[in-house]
Structure 1
Amino acid sequence: MLFLIFLYSHFHTDIPHYLRVVLISASGGLTFFVMLMYTRRWILRLLLSYHGWMYEGLHTMSWSTTLWAVMVRLVSGYHPTTYSCQNSLPFLPVPSLDTSINQFVRSIEPLYEKPEESEEFQKIKNDAEVFRTGLGPKLQRMLVLKSWWAQNWLADWWYKYVYLMGRNPIAINSNYYCLDHSHWCPTNLQISRAANGIYQFLKFKRQLDREELEPLIIRNTVPLCMAQYERIFSCTRIPGEDVDELKQYPASQSKHIIVMRKGIYYQVQITDLKGQPLTPQTLESQISWIIADADEHFEARSVAALTGINRTEWAAIRDKYFSSGVNQETLHALESAVFHAILDTNSFSTWSERGKYLLHGDGRTQWFDKSFSLLYFTDGRCGINVEHSWGDAPVMAHCSEYNLTKEVMEPLYDEKGRCVPLTRYKQAALSTPQRLLWDITPDLGSVIYKSVTFNQKNNEDLSLQIVEHTAYGKGFIKTCKVSPDAYIQCALQLAYFKDSGKFALTYEASMTRLFLLGRTETVRSLTSESVDFVRAMRNDGCSNAERIALLKKACSRHQDLYRDAMNGKGFDRHMFGLFVACRGLGHDSEFLKDSLMMPWTLSTSQQPQQQMRSTPDCNAPAFMDKVCPGGGFGPVTDNGYGVSYMVPGDYKIFFHISSKRSCPKTDSERFAKLLFESFAEMRSLFSTE
């Protein structure tokens, strides 16, 4: 009231009374609205900074946590839009220096059978103490200072130094893949499956653009950061001499998709001449035309092979051969597309063969720089290849789940497998797909040929096994009163020890999307507790009761580490930030180099299942054969394994196990057998309990 009186008294007296009242009311209303908006944002951020709920069971929450959850729902709104909670998310905290150093030293201790006698371990401990009392506090202050003004003190460094500065080929080493339904396929017609898939992905994009997509919320209360969704579409990784660039194209330049057939690229507009989206039936016609045209004008073009080589080499080739003329125009069309769709001429009878092809292709035709590419095979099966720098697997999995759920829940295909026409929809005139051309000089042709040879050699070296464990799933594991993820990680430790006779530094990805611009944190699954469990399983003198006690202790430790990582209490990203600050200030630290250069011999990741509330229950008999097995990635080190897994419901677990054939010590098929053997042994512990 005092504010309104102040405004009234300071308005010019020549202004009529009624106009002054209107202006004062409008000014007061606007001021009140802005104050209310910022107050709501501040209150919600304060509420979301509380993470104690994660350490309480869903059905055993304290009254204070229950009250907190009610307040979060009231402040955030019952139907938040896609990005409505972004500005209210808390900032990623900088962990304590002492805590991170202590956690790191504790995490590597299990690698040494007798750490107190190991010169290497004792040296690392001594270096840690020197860093703690010397350079460490100075670097810590720099991170804290950055956290005061940056939305996320880690995000820009993570994008640049972990992904975009990597010079190794991104195929196999960085990109990952996703499969479609496990045992069921909605249609065997490649054209119809591709048409409907393209339509659903474009529909997902429209919902994102209009902020109509329901944001992901944990326990129906806590929102996750949705920033990565902004880069799903119209995004491309551009190679650079020293560092790549992640380029997002505006809607004014990105009004088309690229469809590839037999090495020929076609530019397809995503709307008709009236701006209406293309229907699945229209896309069927467009794709049929493309297939006929490609078969008639077949020319073996393998320009995409260049995206699979060393990044610095690709940048130099791009600058030399693609900076002008028709090559520049075609390249711009490919890079500015909403996404790519590949009409492949192959089909595969097993998940392993299909997953391997999705990850690296034939070395000729996949454009690995694109944010994602849809691949459709001749038998109607499909999958996705995803460039990793723009976002993590759960984001792409959400997009894929949207498409796959539509296929399961809605009648999208008729009895002949063709797309069902949309009712009450009249498609306007549309543009014919445009075949894109290249100017391949003899020199460029020679470079492309060498790239194809290089890619195919790398492809042959990859071993991938995708297997389905059906003896039991998380339903039985929950009866053991342990976390399913922790149980699986213990099984992986047991299998690896059987495979190699030793323990390995193990990486498991955990998300930090409870914070603004959060991505991932590392959970180091190898712990002293998991080592004790594995040794007990290999010791005939231990009873089952002792083994069960050690298993539960190891699982409890792992669950605590996972929760801490999600809550910003992990230490690996902190050590990385300290290393970047150290190099930026011109210093050198043996401790930081040792902490970051240790190889991840066993790299693992659990893929999310059922991120959408509309997705049917995986345990329902009608849907058990329709669940997605998830996706996978290549091994992080040449002498290690890459293991991703999906837990769809209570009765099965899918595993994707990768390794290099050139390493005589690793074998994906052998590891899968040892893993299943370990699962059987762990189950037998409880059969006599």
Structure 2
Amino acid sequence: MGSVDRIVDRAIPLDDVARVAAWEKSEVRRKREIYLRKISCAVEATVWPFSPKIFAFIGTAVASFCLMQLEMLTETAIYMSWMFLISLLLLVKTFIACLLRYRGWLSTGRVTTRTKIWGLLMKSLIPANSTHYCFKTVLPPLPFPNSLKVTVTKFVESMRPVLSEKEMSDLERKADEFLKTIGWRLQFVLLLRAIWKWNWFADWWKQYVYLANRKPLFCSNVAGGDSYRIQYNRMDRIAVWTFGTWKYFVEGRHNGTLLQQMTLNGIIPLCMDTVKHVTGSTRVPKEDIDEHSWNDPLEIGYIVVQSRGNYYKIFMYDDKGAMLCPGTLKILFEQIWIDSNLRGSNQRNPAIFTCLPRVQWADIRTRLNKISPQALEDVEKAGFLVNLEDECSDSNGDYYLYGNHGHGRVWLDKSLSFTTFKSGRIITMFEHSCFDGLVMSLGKNFAVIEEFFAHEINGFSWFDKKGLNTIENGVYNAGGFREPAMIDFGDLSSLDGDFDKARQFLANDALDVQVGHMLADNVDRKLAKKVKLSPEGLIQCAIQATTYKMHKRVFLTYQPATLQHFSYGRTENIRPLTMNKKLFAEALYDESLTDSEKFNRLKLAIDEHSELIKSAMAMRGIDRHLFGLYVVMRGQGLESEFLDFVVNEGMQAPMCTSCVPPKVSDKLKSLSKFDEDWTKNPNGGVFRHQSPDGYGIFYIEGDSVRTKFVITASKTSQVSRPKEFCRELIGVFNDINALIQTHLDASNSSAK
């Protein structure tokens, strides 16, 4: 292991002229290779859906035909060959683009013959190994939403379950006034923007919903949990997670064999433009609107590791330009661990400032940048962060709490950070102003897949047999890679007052969260499908029924649906709370109603939920349209009581829910042959409550009956009780299962 002084002073021994020259040459060579790989990817994306070899073969065949059969001149034959290739490419790409604009697959009910033919064409025309950047030019634009009157009517109806008759009358008055005055003017301006912009909403969503939000980041950041059963050394695990993340998200962006295209149902491609922002991104605080900073980690070439408040750089490439293997990374992590323990805990860890409201952090960052500009730049430009935690417990409740705020030891501005605890358990934290849940799930999958492969195939024997950076001729070689470089923030004593305020804020606000979590083993999806009920809709009905059982009312609910099948698409709010769900919630424990009446209400609510999902995914939802109108209104200096109500009350949902898409979790479940505990105890996640008296609910499917729930709420709330919510939710699932079984038994009896 390297000495403390060696880590502090330099990344490599500066007196070793030969090694310095080797590093400089390797960096020049590596950046030249990056440039060539980018050109290769651009060529591949241009000639897609053909491969470059097939494209060249077709061109050669056409040119040969023109020369030999048509007896053309060489120049003419080459010209005709190029014209044929360009025409063929444009024709095929245009046809695929037209296919991708088809929305029949979003309709509910029986699959039509037209949709079946469309699916066969998609599978036959689109190569199975298409890479993530190939669909960029053919994905459809974000559609313009419903007519103004339809959207306004839908919104008014969506508020009916939570408003009184008097409040509904007032809302209807505001809606009518909006339609009769400035509504159509705003709609026309929005239509012009939709004609001009390929995605009329994405940049507004990023700028005004995320970057303009002045709340602390722990209110919007999300985290992905880890499995309970840990049998590996913590340095082993974090080394392979670091390796897998860099391999897929950094190297993979310019290597089609690593990062494949995400699809829905194995057919519909999703926009992967946001993948690059998973690594190398930082949200930089500003007084009014934050800025998003991205540096290509492939060119930067390092990550940052935080241990006990001390920061270090790990360079991800050796002196030959090869990526470090997990064995080498493990050695470097151990080296940092020893050095940080010798130094002791740094009580002036600037990461705590990232927990503050954005205006306060912006002011402190300005002063911090004057004190230690290079250290701040090193952290913000890093590919991602790794935190070696030794002070916090990773018992289940504390573990999920850490995933929300990191106890002030995680740099929340970074788009991606891993934290590993002493037991080896890992939690992944995201700042997702630039990407959404599907991309996060993809990143988590890659790390887990790499870990399972490394453990089962190699038994964690990761030392590279080719001798690239750890073993050479059977002898350990420490000269092939750079040692960790200390990031020194210098003397931050002038910020002691700010540190004290940040610690106080952390204790009062960031830590004002409690967690209830459970593995529900009675979410019977097979039973639901026997009566043609959507499991997703059943879960949402159970959540509403539990809410009504505990609070004697229902909460306005947020649940995102993906729009990534459109170019630069993000999400739309499903707005799952409807009158049908409220009626079912009221009916479930109403003894005056028969089981048949209760089941009919359940089926009506679930069928309606399926329609809401499809409608939101087809951009026929409500929230994004109304928010776009609100942005136009503010930009033109106009006022509207209706739109003010929409943004300030109609979009402030006390109940926020999020789930891992089933098709993503299926990829993880396929690895259960390596980890039998996956289906017994799937990973959880943390989705913080957005209202003082509300809930944040994250859930993920384990198997046909098991579902993991993690529920957050405020500690100081006199209303929300997440642990009790978990217990009541279990009981509601039992009652719904009994209701479905009773209906099945009655149906079977009548059939006989």
Same fold (TM over 0.5): yes
> Helix, strand or coil: the match of 1:273?
coil
**Which deviations, in whole Å up to 9, do the C-alpha atoms of 1:506-547 show, x marking residues without a partner?**
111111111111111001111111111111113111111111
- Structure 1 position 63, deviation (Å): 2.1
Which residue number corresponds to residue 177 of structure 2? 130
Counterpart pick for 2:339 among 265, 273, 293:
293
Deviation at 1:297, TM superposition (A): 1.9
Contact 2:348 2:499 (8 Å CA) reproduced: no
8 Å contact from structure 2 (residues 148, 183) kept in 1: yes
Q: 2:237 aligns with which of 169, 193, 200?
A: 193
Q: Return the alpha-carbon distance in structure 1 between the equivalents of residues 167 and 666 of structure 2.
A: 50
Deviation at 1:271, TM superposition (A): 0.5
Q: Is 1:360 matched with 2:397? A: no
Asked whether the 8 Å contact 1:92–1:153 carries over to 2, the reply is: yes
- Of 643, 668, 673 in structure 1, the residue corresponding to residue 727 of structure 2 is 673
Corresponding residue of 1:661 = 715
Tell me what 2:356 maps to.
Answer: 309
Which position in structure 1 is the counterpart of 2:451? Answer: 407
Partner of 1:388: 432
Choose which of 71, 74, 77 in structure 2 pairs with 1:25.
77
Match of 2:539 in 1: 488
Equivalent residue number for residue 142 of structure 1: 189
Whole-angstrom distance in 2 between the partners of 1:494 and 1:621: 37
- Alpha carbons of 1:620 and 1:546: their partners in 2 closer, same or farther (altered >3 Å)? farther
Aligned twin of 2:89 = 37
Cα displacement string for residues 123-162 of structure 1 (whole angstroms, at most 9, x for unaligned residues) = 1111111212221111111111111121200001000000
**SS in structure 2 of the partner of residue 361 of structure 1:** helix
Equivalent residue pairs, number: 658
Q: Structure 2 length as normaliser, TM-score?
A: 0.84
Contact 2:417/2:430 (<8 A) preserved:
yes
Measured in 2, the distance between the counterparts of 1:588 and 1:551 equals 41
What is aligned with 2:319? 273
Deviation string for 1:432-469 (max 9, x for gaps)? 10011112343212212221221132233111122110
Pick aligned residue for 1:465 from 502, 506, 516: 516
Taking the aligned partners of 2:383 and 2:523, their CA distance within structure 1 comes to 41
Asked whether the 8 Å contact 1:82–1:211 carries over to 2, the reply is: yes
1:339-361 per-position Cα deviation (integer Å, ceiling 9, x unaligned): 00001104645322211112111
Rounded Cα–Cα distance in structure 2 between residues aligned with 1:349 and 1:474:
31
Distance 2:454 2:111 in 1: 37
Q: Which moved more, 1:480-489 or 1:19-28?
A: 19-28
Aligned to 1:7: none
* CA 612–477 in structure 1, closer or farther in 2 if over 3 Å, else same: closer
CA change 1:72–1:337 in 2 (3 A) is same
Deviation at 1:241, TM superposition (A): 1.0
State the partner residue of 1:575: 626
2:149 alignment partner in structure 1: 98
CA separation in 2, counterparts of 1:165 and 1:226? 24
Pair 1:623-2:669 in alignment: no
Q: Which amino acid aligns with 1:360?
A: H
In the TM superposition, 1:140-289 aligns within 5 A as 140-171=187-218, 173-181=219-227, 183-187=228-232, 189-205=233-249, 206-212=251-257, 213-251=259-297, 254-289=300-335
What amino acid sits opposite 1:351 in the alignment? N
Of 76, 93, 103, the match for 2:126? 76
Deviation, structure 1 residue 236: 0.6
After TM superposition, give the deviation of residue 558 of structure 1 in Å.
Answer: 0.7
Alpha-carbon contact 2:108-2:611 (below 8 Å) kept: no
Instruction: Give 3-state SS (helix, strand or coil) of 2:664's partner.
Output: coil
Give the aligned residue type for 2:99.
L
RMSD of aligned Cα (Å)? 2.2
1:335 aligns with 380
Amino acid in structure 1 at the alignment position of 2:390: T
What SS does the aligned partner of 1:246 have? strand
Deviation at 1:610, TM superposition (A): 5.0
Shift of 1:675: 1.2
Tell me the equivalent position of 2:67: none
Q: Provide the C-alpha distance between the structure 1 equivalents of 2:282 and 2:374, rounded to a whole number of angstroms.
A: 15
**Residue 737 of structure 2 corresponds to residue 683 of structure 1:** yes
Residue deviations 1:1-35, cap 9 Å, x none? xxxxxxxxxxxxxxxxx999333333333333333
Higher helix share: 2
Residue from 458, 468, 474 that aligns with 1:426? 468
Which runs of 5 or more structure 2 residues have no equivalent in the other structure? 1-69, 470-478, 744-752
Per the alignment, in what secondary structure is the counterpart of residue 290 of structure 1? helix
| Aligned partner of 2:574 among 523, 539, 544 | 523
**Separation in structure 1 between the aligned mates of residue 690 and residue 111 of structure 2, nearest angstrom:** 39
* CA distance in 1 between partners of 2:265 and 2:95 (Å): 20
Measured after TM superposition, the shift of residue 366 of structure 1 is 0.6
1:647 to 701, 707, 712: 701
Structure 2 counterpart of 1:372, which letter?
A: L
Q: Which amino acid aligns with 2:73?
A: V
How far residue 304 of structure 1 moved from its aligned partner, in angstroms, is: 0.6
Residue 49 of structure 1: aligned partner: 101
**Displacement, 1:253?**
5.1
For 1:346 and 1:319, locate their aligned partners in 2 and report how far apart those are by CA, in whole Å.
29
For 2:529, the equivalent position in structure 1 comes to 478
Q: CA 1:509–1:381 in structure 2 vs 1: closer, same or farther (change >3 Å)? A: same
Q: How many Å separate the matches in 2 of 1:475 and 1:351?
A: 29
CA contact (8 A) 1:475 1:649 kept: no
Residue deviations 1:364-402 (CA, integer Å, cap 9, x gap): x11000001000110111111111202112211111112
Equivalent residue of 2:144, what SS? coil
Deviations 1:305-352 (A, max 9, x none): 1111011111111112313x6x11001110000000001104645322
Counterpart code for 2:81: G
Runs of 4+ in 1 over 4 A off after TM superposition: 412-415, 612-616, 618-622
- Residue 137 (structure 2) pairs with residue 87 (structure 1): yes
How far has the Cα of 1:211 moved from its partner?
3.2
Does the residue aligned with 2:574 lie in a helix, a strand or coil? strand
Q: Which amino acid aligns with 1:543?
A: T
Partner of 1:544: 595
The answer to which of 31-40 and 594-603 deviates more is 31-40
Distance 1:625 1:613 in 2: 11
- C-alpha separation in 2, matches of 1:395 and 1:247: 19
Q: Residue 217 of structure 2 aligns to a residue in which SS?
A: coil
2:418/2:429 contact within 8 Å kept = yes
Q: Which residue of structure 1 lines up, in the alignment, with residue 611 of structure 2?
A: 560
Range 203-212 or range 158-167, more displaced: 203-212
Moved more, 605-614 or 424-433: 605-614
Q: Counterpart of 1:583 in 2: which secondary structure?
A: helix
SS in 2 for 1:518: coil
Q: Which amino acid aligns with 1:580?
A: V
**Matches of 1:43 and 1:504, distance apart in 2:** 45
CA shift digits 1:237-288 (9 cap, x unpaired): 1111100011110347521000111000001101111111111111111111
By how many angstroms is 1:608 displaced? 2.3
SS of residue matched to 1:465: strand
**What is the match of residue 10 of structure 1?**
none
1:467 and 1:222 map into 2 onto residues whose CA distance is: 33
In structure 2, C-alpha distance between the alignment counterparts of 1:400 and 1:425, rounded to whole Å: 29
Secondary structure at the aligned position of 2:407 is classed as: coil
User: Contact 2:697–2:711 at 8 Å: present in 1 too?
Assistant: yes
CA distance in 2, matches of 1:278, 1:609: 34
Q: Counterpart amino acid of 1:375? A: T
